[in-house]
Amino acid sequence: MNAPNAAVPASRQPLLPASVESCVVYRPIPISLRSRVIVWMLRRVLRPWLGRMIRGSDEKIAKMQLLTSHMKCPNNHGLTLEYTIVGQVPGHVFGDLADTSKPVILWLHGGAFLLPAAPSAHLEMVAHLASKLGGSGYLPDYRLAPRNRFPAALDDCERAYRALLDLGHAPSRIIVGGDSAGGHLLLGLLQRIRKHGWPMPACALPVSPATELGRIHSPPSRTWKRHADPILPIAALQRVDEMFAGDWDASDPELSPLYADCTGFPPMLMLATNNEVLTDDTVLMARRAKAAGVDVKCEIWPKLPHAFPLFASLFPEVKIVRQEMVEYIQAKLKQA
């Protein structure tokens, strides 16, 4: 006999009014055989490798940080690329940040709070989006664990947003996005922006955000999808929490955004898949934001891996979601 509803993933439970539930859409996108095979390979190769890396010594993690940052961006999509300092935060800049008449994407990269932006994934995607929008892109090189613990990374993201305002970028032309750990930082940044009384960006795009850092076993998809997730070794992520947050109180909404008051947040497009341990991190966060009056659209795609919009070279379906991201941003820029 099945267990009570408590054992059912949050994404399957109609716990809130229909007006809130409706913000979550499960996309019936056909996934190609090629993509399914790649997902199968990732589960058997990438996930075990990430688990070993996370469990490694600080020196091994440092070597991986160096290796990642040494790689080259495969496609700048016609934009210049420069590593420079914006305000007080270094980072990668696509296009001309001095041109404040155009939109700018502030993207907070993922990497389990341990790795820098991956050129073949984060840099290439931001270049693609910025090019399609006719604007610029900025990926802050925020401080990484284990040498820098919370709230160092969030402090850097806050400084990065403030730097764009100080350069003269109107908030109505700023788009803030983030994937995985970067999605977590994005939701913390929105709280900081509200706390300071600064103007909110035109919209935000959290992709597969980690929203609960106090419980490795919850939300429910972390246990339900622990064998299916092609990338994230959920048990090993407990060490990430220790390296990133240390003894910080995980009920702090800046550390676990799932418990944040979302009042006043900008419009959000949230993306995840039904094949990752962080599915319910996204779904529950979207519901809470919608209940707080935020304009939220949450899409759950089938089969693909965690933070799937990053992997255009692997999955042809990513072209669809990237186009939708561009169209969403364009619509919100017009509204703003």
| Type of residue at 54 | I
CB 106 within 8 A of CB 200: no
Average pLDDT over residues 317-327: 97
CB 127 within 8 A of CB 137: yes
Ranking 144-153, 245-254, 305-314 by mean pLDDT, the lowest is 245-254
Q: Is 82 among the residues known to form the active site? A: no
Whose structure tokens read 């060490």? 239
| 105 pLDDT more than 60 | yes
Residue pLDDT, tens place only, 10-30: 445 445 556 677 889 999 999
pLDDT, position 8: 41
Q: Is 184 among the residues known to form the active site? A: no
- Say which of 184, 208, 306, 317 is annotated catalytic: 306
- Say which of 158, 276, 299, 317 is annotated catalytic: 276
| Residue 218 pLDDT grade (very low, low, confident, very high; cuts 50, 70, 90) | confident
Residues 6 and 21: their CA atoms lie apart, in Å, by: 18
Domains recognised in the chain with CATH numbers: 26-335 (3.40.50.1820)
pLDDT, position 3: 37
Alpha-helix runs per DSSP H in 79-151:
124-133
pLDDT, position 17: 58
Cis omega (within 30 of 0) for bond into 151? yes
| 235 pLDDT more than 70 | yes
Q: What's the mean per-residue pLDDT of the chain?
A: 92
pLDDT, position 16: 55
Q: Is 21 among the residues known to form the active site? A: no
- Say which of 180, 208, 221, 256 is annotated catalytic: 180
pLDDT, position 1: 35
pLDDT, position 191: 98
CB 110 within 8 A of CB 59: no
| 6 pLDDT more than 50 | no
